[in-house]
Amino acid sequence: MLKPKFEYIPAALREHPRWVTWAGPKVPFDPMLPNSPASVNDPHTWGSFENAKTAYREGERAGIGFVLNGDGLVGIDLDGCVERGKPDMRAIALLDRIGCGYVEFSPSGKGLRSFGFSGPPRRCKGVMDGISVEVYSTSRYLTVTGHVLREGPIVELPGFTSLSDDLVPTEENRREHRITEDDRSHLQYSSVGIPCHTIPIEESQRNKRLFELARYLKGEIPNGTAAQLRALVQEWHRLALPAIGTKDFGITWADFIRGWEKVRFPTGAILATVLEGVDGDPLPDGIETLGYGHHGIMLVKICLRLALHHDPEPFFISVRQAGGLLNIHFTDASKLLSALVTDGVIALAERGGGKRASRYRWNFSPGAHSHRMNG
């Protein structure tokens, strides 16, 4: 397995904050929260190049990867075309046809990878001249190594789209529709999306994570149609396939339906009930003197509701959960929670870790803030 050579990775890729780390069967991880899987559909789970480099060096990750998000940066992946460090000349000819400038070796050392600028492909997978080819423009990530075969710039790729037209479909994708920019049926992830915590990173997690998906979707779209649910489960199946080993989508779909029928407590349902109408709650006396803006005030009201609901036990809230409730980035939500702790509005009862949310107690009383800051 080739270790990343960070210094040789092109600046045209490094400058974009669309980096992840990966492990196992190429499962992507959030470089800002190294124990949490990343999603190619959720920019909040990506990070900067430096974030990914640090996460790789400090964690037990196999490498780093770059997310394609449809902005014109595309990726080419040629599998099994390198033997003992020597590329198959048919693969080189394909890269030349596309117009690739920069070319590197894949982590296994048995494939080639390239990036450039182009419109979307009309077919993503296939075979050309005996070489297995994958070309993507969005909703995928590609591993990046910096092990350079061809040291060239990231350039426009005049042959990218035409090559995708000529790919011969494999048995795996023979029945897939040709992808065009206007083919909405290909956009299987709706505004609901697939949360990264439902994606398994090893086969033993399959059933539990699939049930978590059922809980999540039953909370988000309790009246979803079979067609809506099927499309989302198909996307989950695609993202989970490297880890779960279940090749037949029909089995995944049947297991999901069984899980859906068994869900009694959908994700978010209890929280939604507890927080119903929270924006209309009166602000506790003395809070206004702290000078919080709209988001800070809303977080105060949310914390008080949660504290009253869980009393006498501490309540729990994660930074991602707070960010979702406030409709802000989780890093800003983390800062607001820290401010509430510093100001004595809430007290940290138990620090969380990994996927476990921190627990807090309501701690505010009028007049205590000035004494605390002056003491």
Instruction: Tell me the angle at which helices 294-310 and 319-326 cross, rounded to the nearest 10 degrees.
Output: 120
Q: Same structural domain for residues 299 and 155?
A: no
Q: Identify the pLDDT of residue 353.
A: 59
Q: Identify the pLDDT of residue 193.
A: 60
How many domains does the chain divide into?
3
Q: Same structural domain for residues 175 and 281?
A: no
Q: Same structural domain for residues 276 and 254?
A: no
Best CA proximity match to 315, nearest among 345, 358, 284: 358
Residues 23, 60 contacting (CB under 8 angstroms): yes
Q: Same structural domain for residues 274 and 256?
A: no
Which pLDDT tens digit goes with each residue over 313-371? Answer: 888 888 878 887 887 887 888 999 999 999 999 999 988 655 566 889 999 986 554 44
Whether residue 90 is contained in a domain is answered as: yes
Q: Same structural domain for residues 231 and 148?
A: no
Q: Same structural domain for residues 237 and 219?
A: yes
Q: Same structural domain for residues 105 and 205?
A: no
Q: Identify the pLDDT of residue 265.
A: 64
Residues 299, 275 contacting (CB under 8 angstroms): no
Q: Return the sign of the alpha-carbon dihedral for residues 182, 18, 39, 56.
A: positive
* Residues whose CB is less than 8 angstroms from the CB of residue 280 and which lie 6 or more positions away in sequence, other chains included: none
Whether residue 223 is contained in a domain is answered as: yes
Residue 370's CB: how many other CB atoms inside 10 A?
11
Q: Which residues of 180-215 are buried (b: 16+ CB within 10 A; e: fewer)?
A: eeeeeebebbeeeebbbebbbbeeebbeebbbbbbb
- How far, in Å, CA of 368 to CA of 21, rounded? 44
Whether residue 91 is contained in a domain is answered as: yes
DSSP E strand boundaries for 200-332: 315-316
Q: Identify the pLDDT of residue 356.
A: 60
276: domain CATH number is 1.10.10.10
Q: Is 183 strand, coil or helix? A: coil
Mean pLDDT by 10 residues, the chain (375 residues): 96 96 82 79 90 87 92 94 96 97 96 95 87 91 96 95 86 42 29 67 88 85 82 86 81 94 74 83 93 95 92 85 81 92 93 70 73 47
Q: Same structural domain for residues 324 and 217?
A: no
* The residue to which tokens 């529709």 are assigned: 177
Best CA proximity match to 31, nearest among 17, 12, 10: 17
Whether residue 1 is contained in a domain is answered as: no
- Among 262, 295, 322, give the residue marking a domain's end: 262
- Among 205, 236, 262, give the residue marking a domain's end: 262
Element (H, E) at 83: strand 82-83
Q: Same structural domain for residues 106 and 237?
A: no
Whether residue 231 is contained in a domain is answered as: yes
Q: Note the pTM of the prediction, 2 decimals.
A: 0.53
* The residue to which tokens 């499309």 are assigned: 231
Q: Same structural domain for residues 289 and 204?
A: no
Q: Same structural domain for residues 199 and 60?
A: no
Q: What domain range includes position 113?
A: 6-181
- How far, in Å, CA of 100 to CA of 77, rounded? 12
Q: Identify the pLDDT of residue 141.
A: 92
DSSP E strand boundaries for 152-215: none
- Among 221, 236, 262, give the residue marking a domain's end: 262
Q: Same structural domain for residues 230 and 307?
A: no
Counting Cα atoms < 13 Å in the Cβ hemisphere of 166 gives 12
Q: Identify the pLDDT of residue 196.
A: 65
